[in-house]
Homo-oligomer: A and B are copies of this chain.
Amino acid sequence: MPPMKFCPSCAAPVAERIPDGDHLPRAVCTRCGTIHYRNPRLIAGCVPEREGRILICRRAIEPRRGYWTIPAGFMEIGETLQQAAARECHEEALARVEVGSLCAVVHVLHAEQVHVMFRAVLAADGAFGVGAESLETVLCDESDIPWPDIAFASVEFTLRRYLEDRKAGREGLHYRTFA
C-alpha cells in the first residue's frame, strides 16, 4: 500500500498524529479530522492435493516472478477465507478444490500481511491448467518440490508443515512470524 498523503474523504493533506484516546500514530485529516486506520491485510491460500501430489504454480507476476508458490492471494471483501483460497486456486491454476482444515497462519510483519493457508483436495476430475498469473503449474510429488525456488518463506513453511503432518497422519495448525 502506498503511504497516505491526502485524505481519501476530502483531499486535504493528512498528518501523522496520535488521536485522543489512542496509543499509535494514525493518518489524520488536517481539514475534516477523519482518522484513517491502516491494518494488516489477509492473504488466503491452500495446499491442493490429489493422489498424494501437490499442485504448485510458477509465478508470472512480481514479486518473485519465476518462483514457485501454492495458490494464494489477497482476500476480497464479501468472501470467506475458504472462498478466497478456492478462488485463488481457480485463478492461478484453473483448478476446483474442496478446502479443508487450516494448516498455517503466518504473520509477515514487514509486508503487513497475515497469510492463512488451508489444506485442500482437487476436485474429482483433477483438472487444472495455467492461470493468467502463472507461467506453469505442476502436480508435483513431494520429492520433486523445488525447495530452493519457492517464492515465499510463508509458502515453504506451509508446505513443510503440511508434509510433516501428512506423514504423521495428523492435521495440525501451525504458526510462524517473519519479521
Contact = CB atoms under 8 A, between A and B. Distances in A.
Interface of A: 1-11, 14, 21, 24, 34, 36-42, 74-82, 101-102, 105, 107, 109, 112, 114, 132, 173, 175, 177
Given A6-B6, A21-B132, A173-B173, 7 more contacts: A24-B76, A37-B74, A39-B42, A39-B77, A78-B109, A79-B107, A81-B105
| Main SS class of interface, A | loop
Contact of A114 (B74, B81, B112): B81
A11 B75 CA distance: 26
A75 B39 CA distance: 7
B8 A5 contact: yes
A7 B1 CA distance: 12
B109 A40 contact: no
B81 A42 contact: no
Contact of A112 (B9, B77, B102): B77
Contact of A11 (B11, B76, B105): B11
Contacts of A76: 24, 39-40
A68 B173 CA distance: 30
Q: In the A-B complex, list the 3 residue pairs whose CB atoms are closest, starting with the nearest.
A: A6-B11, A4-B8, A11-B11
A42 B9 contact: no
Nearest to A12: B11
A115 to B, nearest CB: 11
A9 B6 contact: yes
Given A102-B173, A114-B81, A173-B173, A39 B2 contact: no
Contact of A9 (B2, B39, B40): B2
